[in-house]
Amino acid sequence: MPRWLYIILLALSGSVGHAQLPGLTLSLQSIPTKDTDQIIAQNAALYVPAGQSASPFLAPGKFQATWTGFISTGLRGDYNFQAELNGALKLEISNTVVLEVTGTNSTSALTKPIRLTKGANPLRATFTSPAIGDAFVRIFWKPVDNPIQPLPYAALTHTDTPELQKTTQLHTGRDLFIEHRCIKCHTADAVSVEFAVDAPTFEGLAGRRNPGWLAGWISGPKSLRRSARMPKIICDAAAVATYFASLATNPPDNTTQGSPDLFLAGRKVFEDLNCNACHIPPKGENANPHGEDSDPNKISLRSVGEKFSWQSLKEFLTKPNQHYAWIHMPKFRLTDEQLNQLANFLMAGRVLPLQPASTPELVDRGKNLLQTSGCLNCHAMNLPNKFTTKPLAQLKNLQAGCLGDPPKGAPDYSFAPYERDALRAWLAIDRASVSRLVPAEFATHQSHNLNCLNCHGPVDNIPPFEILGAKLRPEWSAKFIAGELTEKPRPWLDAQMPAFPKYAGLFAQGLTMQNGLPPQTPPFPPADKEMSDTGHKLVSGVPVGFGCIQCHAIGSTGALQVFEAPGINLELAGKRLQHSYFKLWVRRPSVIDMNSKMPGFFDDEGKSPLTQYYGGDGDKQIEAIWQALRL
């Protein structure tokens, strides 16, 4: 759940301690300094490399992590628990200690059966980081007649508390400070990479945007897009737009074109790529006169024709991050045909705004405003910047400036009351968090900014977001998110994963660390030839095996016979999947996806019907398949 939405829902409900919300409450405390933080975690797992911070609000060093909430079951039953860890763990269920262990890069023994009642069972897990080495923990359970598996996100809930509201507000304030580029004006000596986010460069802007649209955008960004982070700062927007227009060596081509057939084809491209996860199409049925539609969390595309020329739109769709590295708009692999179709759909019914009249005096005034208003603190341009203000350390009055209500003599961000309160709360505490980079925090923050949960979960055939960190190796995931891989795991789907190059590396590491796994996959020992040979037999079915190649392609060799749904190319599995995820998936696919077409070959005890291989030992057979796929 996005932090801003969490704050609003709690404010509207007016109640604390009653709502059952997804995930667990994770309380973190620095052991040396006693500083604390509290967040919502999707599971009982974490990974913190030695010498790094467990939270932006905690200094590096030894820490304690405590998960509290409830674990729910549909029926009363017996469950066993287990943990992988480097550190010390005490797990309590319904106020009874069920597991207490200290481990050094090890896995605990399986506990005796623990009876859980139907419905919510109170859970508390306390982990203390080790004196030496990376701190990590992953807690598992074993339902009756099922394999050992991570605690499922769907079974975990927590209640809201005043303390959780307070720390959520602090995290929201930090996120807002990042997203509004506040550090660009209120500088600090040391900042983490996430605070160094850029803004669109001004170089060549006149050839990329229509001056008439620029004038309207500068005069009031939120009047065109409610989610805009750029402030209203300049009183004479027409002058600045005129200055930009005077720099154009190739003014935008404002001719009109298009065809009904291309419009319909473009709408299909828009739908296939699931663009409506973030955008309202240019001809939305619920449009209002202000250019926004019924969903304020999505960006309306009704003014695309005013903003772009045909050529600049196609260039933007081809490479959105060319002039803005940290842009939220992802990159898709569009063919020339798709590009032309999509442009026709987006440009339908375009109406150009009036172009500001140009005079030498207006151009000079626009140039001076650009240099003195703070625009060049965020936007790169080969022009001297004449604007300065107080650095972060000297900000004292949190009721004035940008945070004034209303702001006087300062940029107007039109902050909502909860945003202004969150920024003031964060600025009122130790601001050292600007220098601390925590990949898990980065992933939480950016997953909401990039609308990952609008596709991962609601859309068929796209895996739920909460499993990705435990499923994918971070090295492969980073390349996939960056758009560097040509192979597509599910080539039969029209949808494609969009690329976010600037976010990819940290994002992939953060997702992995949230699931208690290291940010770099440890090297595997050399493959065992005997096991890999056995694995090939099991995969191929020759002479006897599971016949995986009936549904799965391997490299350029297609599947032999697909009855219902194709399987993912097995050539990708060894470099794509986490080892632990692969073992659980093959053992019991329905644990991860109850609708999976993948058959289960192993019984409740993990035994295989193919007793000629390792006496039917399912774990050894699965490992043999893994060894084969690695090669």
Supply the pLDDT for residue 292: 47
Supply the pLDDT for residue 180: 97
Where exactly are the structural domains of the chain?
20-159, 170-198+380-435, 255-351, 439-514, 529-630
Supply the pLDDT for residue 387: 95
Mean pLDDT of 340-365: 88
Per CATH, the number for 20-159 is 3.90.182.10
pLDDT tens digit sequence for 191-226: 999 999 999 999 999 889 999 999 999 999 998 898
Higher per-residue pLDDT: 255 or 177: 177
Supply the pLDDT for residue 287: 41
Per CATH, the number for 439-514 is 1.10.760
Question: End-to-end distance of the chain based on CA atoms, in angstroms?
Answer: 40
Mean pLDDT of 155-181: 97
Q: Tokens 């006087």 label which residue?
A: 408
Mean pLDDT of 497-514: 97
Supply the pLDDT for residue 122: 98
Which of 130, 152, 3, 147 is CA-nearest to residue 64? 130
pLDDT tens digit sequence for 1-52: 555 455 444 444 444 455 689 999 999 999 999 999 999 999 999 999 999 9
In this predicted structure, the answer to whether residue 256 has a pLDDT above a threshold of 80 is no
Q: Rounded to an integer, what distance in angstroms lies between the CA atom of residue 400 and that of residue 464?
A: 43
E strand or H helix at 48? strand 45-48
CA contacts within 13 A on the Cβ side of 59: 8
Supply the pLDDT for residue 187: 96
Supply the pLDDT for residue 253: 66
In this predicted structure, the answer to whether residue 174 has a pLDDT above a threshold of 70 is yes
Q: Rounded to an integer, what distance in angstroms lies between the CA atom of residue 442 and that of residue 126?
A: 24
- Identify the CATH class of 255-351: mainly beta
At residue 257, φ and ψ (nearest 5 deg) are -160, 180
Per CATH, the number for 529-630 is 1.10.760.10
Full DSSP string of 374-413:
SHHHHS--SS--------GGG---TTSGGGSSS-SSS-B-
Q: What percent of the chain has pLDDT over 90?
A: 77
3-state secondary structure 463-527: CCHHHHHHHECHHHHHHHHHCCCCCCCCCCCCCCCCECCCCHHHHHHHHHHHCCCCCCCCCCCCC
Supply the pLDDT for residue 283: 67
Mean pLDDT of 80-107: 98
Q: Rounded to an integer, what distance in angstroms lies between the CA atom of residue 507 and that of residue 505?
A: 5
Distances (CA, A) of 29 to 53, 163, 229, 548: 11, 14, 33, 48
pLDDT tens digit sequence for 276-309: 999 999 864 334 444 445 577 899 998 898 999 8
Q: Rounded to an integer, what distance in angstroms lies between the CA atom of residue 29 and that of residue 34?
A: 6
pLDDT tens digit sequence for 56-78: 999 999 999 999 999 999 999 99
- 180's tokens: 């509004």
Supply the pLDDT for residue 251: 64
**Contact between residue 49 and residue 189 where contact means Cβ atoms under 8 Å apart:** no
Determine the residue type at 122: P
Which of 295, 293, 294, 311 is CA-nearest to residue 303? 293
What's the mean pLDDT when you consider all of the chain?
91
Q: What percent of the chain has pLDDT over 70?
A: 93
Higher per-residue pLDDT: 160 or 293: 160
Q: Given pLDDT bands bounded at 50, 70 and 90, which one contains residue 490?
A: confident
Higher per-residue pLDDT: 293 or 183: 183
Supply the pLDDT for residue 386: 96
- Asked whether the bond before 150 is cis by omega within 30 degrees of 0, the reply is no
Distances (CA, A) of 548 to 57, 387, 531, 539, 579: 48, 65, 17, 5, 18
Q: Note whether 20-159 and 529-630 share their fold.
A: no
Supply the pLDDT for residue 4: 46
Mean pLDDT of 565-587: 91
> How many other CB atoms are there within 10 angstroms of residue 544's CB atom?
12
Judge if pTM exceeds 0.75.
yes
E strand or H helix at 36? strand 36-41
Distances (CA, A) of 580 to 64, 155, 619: 26, 20, 12
Mean pLDDT of 110-131: 97
Supply the pLDDT for residue 15: 44
In this predicted structure, the answer to whether residue 453 has a pLDDT above a threshold of 60 is yes
Q: Rounded to an integer, what distance in angstroms lies between the CA atom of residue 544 and that of residue 534?
A: 10
